[in-house]
């Protein structure tokens, strides 16, 4: 009888330890995803604020990478990316 109580106690402690670990992992991963999402939004907003609107409009009307401002905008976006 005493062995059953000890075994049951160890089993319950193990279960709650694992459950607590899983809960903590899920909560932490959700927080990290939210932080990464927020940082990406800030980077995108910073990149968008630095774009030349006229140059971008020219790209939309040009539809190829031979436009004069294509290299300029591509270089800027690559700099933001790094």
pLDDT in tens, 53-73: 888 777 777 776 777 788 888
Express as a percent the part of the chain with pLDDT over 90.
29
- Structural domain contains residue 46: no
- Write down the pLDDT at residue 41: 92
Specify whether 35 is located in the same domain as 60: no
Alpha-helical regions (H) of 1-82: 2-50, 53-62, 68-81
CB 55 within 8 A of CB 72: yes
- Structural domain contains residue 55: yes
Average pLDDT over residues 9-27: 93
Domain span holding position 66: 51-82
Rounded to two decimals, the pTM is 0.50
Specify whether 57 is located in the same domain as 81: yes
- Structural domain contains residue 45: no
| Count of structural domains within the chain | 2
Specify whether 61 is located in the same domain as 80: yes
């Amino acid at each position: 009888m005493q062995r059953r109580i000890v075994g049951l106690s160890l089993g319950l402690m193990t279960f709650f330890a694992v459950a607590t670990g899983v809960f903590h992992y899920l909560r932490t991963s959700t927080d990290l995803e939210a932080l990464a999402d927020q940082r990406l939004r800030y980077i995108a907003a910073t990149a968008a604020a630095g774009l030349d609107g006229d140059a971008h409009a020219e790209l939309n009307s040009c539809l190829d990478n031979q436009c004069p401002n294509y290299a300029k905008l591509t270089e800027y976006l690559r700099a933001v990316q790094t």
